[in-house]
Amino acid sequence: MHFLPDVYVPCEVCEGARYNRDTLDIEFKGKNIAGVLSLSCEEALEFFSNQPSIARHMQTLVDVGLGYVRLGQPAP
């Protein structure tokens, strides 16, 4: 309806994480996929410092001034 404001109701199962429980149960270094996607490129550079192929890409993004961008940030 055009006269009512939009309403956002987070999913009761995933609590807005966008992944099912089985997926969210898998962790890498204490973070699940939702946690990793919430990292900024700068935070991801530190988090993946022991993964050279990932760290190289994160370093490039930080070098060009995009360190603030979240890994899971949607494109417009």
Specify the pLDDT at position 45: 98
Residue 31 tokens read as 């973070």
Specify the pLDDT at position 1: 61
Q: From first to last of the 76 residues of the chain, give the pLDDT tens digit.
A: 678 888 888 888 788 788 888 999 999 999 999 999 999 999 999 999 999 999 999 999 999 999 999 999 988 8
All residues at 6 or more sequence positions from 16 whose CB lies less than 8 Å from its CB, including other chains: 10
Specify the pLDDT at position 41: 98
Nearest alpha carbon to residue 73 among 41, 28, 27? 41
Specify the pLDDT at position 17: 81
Please say whether the beta carbons of 32 and 50 come within 8 A.
no
